[in-house]
Structure 1
Amino acid sequence: MVQGWVDSGRPVARPDQASLEALVAAVPRFAVDEAVEVCGVAEQHWGKKLLPHVTAYLTMALCLYSDDEVEEVAQKVTGSLSQFGAWDAAWEPPTSSEIMQARKRLGRDVLRETFYRAAEPVATRETRGAWLRGSRLMAIDGFGLDVPGSAENAAEFGYAGNGRSRSAFPKARVVAVVECGSHAFIDAEVGPWNRSEKAMAAALLTSISTDWLLLADRGFYSFAAFSAANQTGAGLCWRAPTQLSLPILKVLPDGTYLSALVNPRLRGRQREEMLQVAKSGAKPDPAGAHVVRVIEYDVPDRDGGELVRLITNVRDPEDATAVELAATYHRRREAEAANGRLKTVLRGPGKVLRSKSPDLAHQEIWAYLLVQYAINSLICQAATGADIDPDRISLPGTLNIVRRTATGAAAFPS
């Protein structure tokens, strides 16, 4: 039995299936090579050791072994490289300085472009907890990462708080789209702390897929954001802000009701005319309004009760009941869990990133996103094969197996 691989103790995979080779399979060499080409870094002088793809995988390895010094990580993984023609066994492992210079040559954008090419939904139709009536459950959420307090990082990312009370370190903000079933990040934006999550999400909402049901908390709502996401044809189930006006247009048999989201730029007579169009059953101009279904329910165990209002473009109760959508909305916490997995398990609680310059800090963040994606892809595949929910598989146990096997069975592509 593989101890720590499944919380229940039920084995679902052999240790060799959780090697670094399996992780690299989730971030294939061609994706790295395409990113190197797009970013124009192949033309630089790389020497014969730390080529662009080797540097990319070494940077990911630095995230996999977040507790180890740079040269220790190099000692662990370069032995595997020689088995696949990417490293001469007679060479000395690279020094910390050599790796730093290679990372600088790689730049901030290669791993971001690699992520865009490699990350994709991994749950299959057989994956438990990943679907609602044929719609893939996805969620959007944000989190912060502490970066070293160099003057350059402070200027790039800024601090949380204000001049009188601010965070100990500069913070980068990450907004990511997460596949609920697998906990894998499949799209992301990285920026300074003073950029709001809502503003950063705007770049992600136009590229969602028609077979998704995207879940979002009330902090992500704006008329523009909902409009952009709605135009993709994807299903949406978002929590409405407390102050959002949701006039009742029609009460549905299940107790939910149709309402209209009206562009806040329309006021007075224009707003009333748009509401009348929506109430008549005609489709309003999407630049002015959207007809949505509203689901209201109480959460009684939260400080005397809390009213939750969900807005969804799944308007027909036959397509999804109110109970189904209410239960599904709370799967949004899978995104919070995914954030926590990166911050407290992969990176480690309270840890600050390694990189003291903005370019390398961006590079390191994308490396963490890639490693998180790869590990959760591996977990999802194992869980699907065993017909259990991926939530039942221990991430720390899986990560320990990967780290133990990385020095022997890792297959970095040549």
Structure 2
Amino acid sequence: MASGSVERESPVARPGGVSVGDLVAAVPRRLVEEAVDACGLDGPVPDGELPLHLTAYVVMALCLLPGEPVEDVAQTVVAELSRPDGVRGVAPGPLTASGIGRARRRLGPDVLRETFSLLATASSDWVVLGDRSRYAFATFGAAARIGVAQCWRVPPQVPLPVLEVLRDGSYLSVLIDPDLTACERAKCLLEAWSGVKPDPDAAHTVRVVEDGDADRLVTTLRDPEEVTAAELADAHRQWRRQSATDGGPCSALRGPGGVRSTDPDLVHQEIWAHLLVEYAVNSTTWA
């Protein structure tokens, strides 16, 4: 795509065919607007500014298309939402990086978090799958705090001490924020050993499935009666094979730099956007 240009009939897509249109289909505007209302942000839109539902899709599209300039991504979103079969929105003024930044600050970190929570509530059997190239404690913790089921293949350097071995060979462990001090991490480990429920901002009790010599899966699904270690390992391998074949979920969030923002609120905003994009890419790939 040439800089500044948008082809309305062919929205920009990631390799593997996941487009902004797929994103809009997977994350319905109805849920985004419910999230805006729940966060008390349903007031009038300043003249010439992006409406909040459009801003939400722009942030998600920035995660879907990490190599694209901000203005081009925003233009693509506006074009897609203006299509006859798309989700109509209020046409904003000229789209500039500064204007998009203002809109993102108005949106804040909570709307996309609430949107993700609404999606999770609507999909009770939904399990987030993630790979080690995109694993981060903050991302895992953000979803865990709202009760979303997850299963991630984690990097080999992530410490996972054995707390209790389960009957299917998996074991319970504690996932601790690596940014804590050594003393804070030691305290979390001692609490886990003693059976104290960890502070969710600092640590999470998880189940670990060892799949081969190097691969370890970390999941919030802790009951082997609900899903066995073998079933989790098989499902995750199948997901990775599909991803390697068609550029699907595993590659969807791989972008230079991970997040674009430095402001803490906008970083949290992008974390939730990444999780929503992961959902959208999985929905498109496995549809």
Answer whether TM exceeds 0.5 for this pair. yes
Q: Take 1:57 and 1:137, find their aligned partners in 2: how far apart are those partners?
A: 21
Letter of the structure 2 residue corresponding to residue 362 of structure 1: H
Q: Which is higher, the Rg of structure 1 or of structure 2?
A: 1
Match of 2:265 among 334, 353, 359: 359
Q: Secondary structure at the match of 1:219?
A: coil
2:53 equivalent in structure 1: 53
Equivalent residue in structure 2 for 1:347, among 245, 253, 265:
253
How far apart, CA to CA, are the structure 2 residues paired with 1:94 and 1:354?
18
Cα distance change of structure 1 residues 21 and 342 upon mapping to structure 2, 3 Å threshold: closer
Residue identity (%): 32
1:331 to 234, 251, 266: 234
CA distance in 2, matches of 1:137, 1:60: 20
Instruction: Report the TM-score when normalising by structure 1.
Output: 0.42
| 2:153 equivalent to 1:219 | no
The 5 A counterparts of 1:55-204 are 55-83=55-83, 85-88=88-91, 93-119=94-120, 138=127, 173-175=138-140, 189-190=141-142, 201=144, 203=145
Distance 2:69 2:259 in 1: 12
Q: Are residues 238 and 116 of structure 1, via their aligned partners in 2, closer, same or farther at CA, if it must alter by over 3 Å?
A: farther
CA pair 375-333 structure 1, distance change in 2 beyond 3 A: closer
Distance 2:82 2:270 in 1: 25
Corresponding pairs, count: 221
Q: C-alpha deviations, 1:209-253, integer Å up to 9, x for none?
A: xxx9x8999938757xx9xxxxxxxxx9671269xxxxxxxxxxx
Aligned residue for 2:41? 41
Tell me: CA distance 1:353–1:102, structure 2 relative to 1, closer, same or farther (3 Å): same
Which amino acid is 2:170 matched to? R
Change (3 A) 1:336 1:81: closer
Q: Which amino acid aligns with 2:253?
A: R
Per-residue CA distance 1:378-405 (angstroms, 9 max, x = gap): 2211xxxxxxxxxxxxxxxxxxxxxxxx
Between 1:19-28 and 1:108-117, the stretch displaced more is: 19-28
State the alpha-carbon separation in 2 of the partners of residues 20 and 373 from structure 1: 13
Distance of 1:122 and 1:114 partners within structure 2 = 12
Unaligned runs of 5+ in 1: 1-16, 124-135, 147-170, 176-188, 191-199, 227-235, 243-262, 267-297, 304-310, 382-414
- Relative to 1, partners in 2 of residues 1:21 and 1:144: Cα closer, same or farther, differing over 3 Å? closer
- Give 1:106 shift: 0.4
Match of 2:11? none
**How far does residue 20 in structure 1 lie from its aligned partner after superposition?**
3.3
Q: Deviations over 1:51-82 (max 9, x none)?
A: 11011111111112210111121232322333
Could you tell me how far apart the structure 2 residues matched to 1:112 and 1:342 are? 23
- Residue 282 of structure 2 corresponds to 376
Pair 1:358–1:21, CA change in 2 (3 A): same
Per-residue Cα deviation, 1:59-118 (whole angstroms, up to 9, x for no partner):
111112210111121232322333454244xx6541110000000000011101001112
Task: Describe the shift of the 1:121–1:102 C-alpha distance in structure 2 as closer, same or farther (beyond 3 A).
Answer: closer
1:43, CA displacement in angstroms?
2.9
Q: Can you give the 5+ residue segments of structure 2 that lack an aligned partner in the other structure?
A: 1-16, 174-191, 196-209, 215-221
Return closer, same or farther for 1:107/1:240 CA change in 2, 3 Å cut-off: same
Rate the CA distance shift 1:238–1:339 in 2: closer, same or farther, 3 A: farther
Aligned partners of 1:237 and 1:313 also within 8 Å: yes
**Which residue of 1 is the match for residue 21 of structure 2?**
21
Superposition pairs for residues 301-316 of structure 1, below 5 Å?
302=213, 313-314=224-225
Q: Which residue of 1 aligns with 2:205?
A: none
1:240 aligned residue: 171
Partner AA of 2:29 in structure 1: R
Q: Is the CA contact (8 Å cut-off) linking 1:31 and 1:118 kept in structure 2? A: yes
Give the letter for the 1:331 counterpart: D
- TM-score (norm: length of structure 2): 0.58
> Partners in 2 of 1:330 and 1:35 — Cα distance?
34
Q: Which has the higher contact order (CA 8 A, sep 6+)?
A: 1
Query: Is the 1:26–1:118 contact (alpha carbons within 8 Å) kept by the matching residues of 2?
Result: no
